[in-house]
Structure 1
Amino acid sequence: MPNPKRPNFLEKIDPILERYGLILESDLHLPSVVSTIIGESIHGSWWGHSQGNTIYQTLGILNRRPDILLTKLLSRKTTFVHRRLWPGFLTIATSREPWQLDHLSPNAQKLLYAVQQKGKLSTNDYSKDSGVKIGVLGDAARELEARILVYGIGFHSESGSHAKRLKTWDTWAKDTKYKWKKIDPDVAKQGFENIALKLKERYSVRPKLPWDKLSVSRTRKKVARRKG
């Protein structure tokens, strides 16, 4: 007998992207690629799951799609962001506001400066040039990604160690051949805050946004004043 048709999980993922404009890789409460494939949320890593190969392949397909951006956005977790949200996201990411730059560790500051000077770099090459251990650079890279200061993608170096390829957002846009115009940063943040509230209404959990340490109400008041 022929094998049953392999399920196309993108048919379930695309409606989530259409509704919210984004989806998490994995999460216990909010819509994610992993829970969509498995049918339930799981604790810890999905690598050892029986559907692990399907999850890996689906994540790869999403990561290669020209209308999807992979970044750390919701609750500092890997988030797939649809193209329609890119102008607002890039406006926020390149705003260089205090929540992005204040209290960065010295290693993160140095790494950010290096990325800005070169446009793009890999942490394994930078480790060789600077003498900073790859593990230290990994921590610094995660710090920059959590504040959406850079685009980052992980890979295994020739030595087998985990490393990151980092880019400025301007370099990412150039490499992606994506042209965009900045919008009002407060309006951009309000758009993502509205999505977060929409998710809370549906799933009873509001994802944390990178700038949440600042007053959300203050952002809303600014937007209201500018619309008035």
Structure 2
Amino acid sequence: MDRNLMPVKSKEEALDFVKHHGAVLESAKGAIPSLAEAIAGEPIRGSWWGHPKGNQIYMLLNEVCDSPDIVRCRLHDGKITLVHRRLWPALVKMASAFDAVRLSAVREEHTATGAHRMTTVKFPDWVSDDVHAAAKSISVGEAEKQLGPLMTRTVRKSEARR
């Protein structure tokens, strides 16, 4: 069965889904897959909160976002995007092609009152030394290939100037 059509049922399957695609939308619709829809096993109309699998979606999204192999940012069209560690060197290599705000890590904190608060860690503050080193060892062409649909016309214009 196609990996995109198989419902994601566990944290391991959710992490594998993100790793396989490299980057996915958390729950929005766009040109890359949505983890919420993968968990639901179908397209979601309206908010995923109202979906019959809403609790499972909530649980798995939180578990995936807590993984040290995932960075949560607003990379794809300003929407919350989950990017697997395997793409981080390519992001670092191509960082100048993206708005730095979109590369900032977004974290959701639960306060003592139960409220949710979003915080950000600016790029490249969230990037480890080993990822910076790995970025130096790949070419611009390889980075563009790895990032695929995340690359925009902006990248092509910036590359033309180099």
TM over 0.5: yes
Q: How big is the alpha-carbon RMSD for the aligned residues of Structure 1 and Structure 2?
A: 3.5
CA change 1:167–1:187 in 2 (3 A) is: same
Write out per-residue CA displacement over residues 73-125 of structure 1, whole angstroms, 9 at most, x where no aligned residue: 222222221111101112333x3x6x637xxxxxxxxxxxxxxxxxxxxxxxx
Counterpart among 86, 89, 99 of residue 87 in structure 1: 89
Residue identity in the other structure for 2:86: R
CA change 1:179–1:100 in 2 (3 A) is: closer
Q: Residue 163 of structure 1 corresponds to which residue in structure 2? A: 117
Q: Residue 21 of structure 1 corresponds to which residue in structure 2? A: 22
Write out per-residue CA displacement over residues 167-196 of structure 1, whole angstroms, 9 at most, x where no aligned residue: 23343235xx75422447844662355x21
Q: Residue 68 of structure 2 corresponds to which residue in structure 1? A: 66
In structure 2, stretches of 5+ residues that fail to align are 1-8
Q: Residue 105 of structure 1 corresponds to which residue in structure 2? A: none
TM-score, normalised relative to structure 2:
0.68
Higher-strand-fraction structure: 2
User: Across the two proteins, how many residue pairs are aligned to each other?
Assistant: 151
Q: Residue 40 of structure 2 corresponds to which residue in structure 1? A: 38
Higher-helix-fraction structure: 1
Structure with the greater alpha carbon radius of gyration: 1
Deviation at 1:151, TM superposition (A): 2.0
Deviation at 1:46, TM superposition (A): 0.9
Partner Cα separation in structure 1 for residue 14 and residue 65 of structure 2: 16
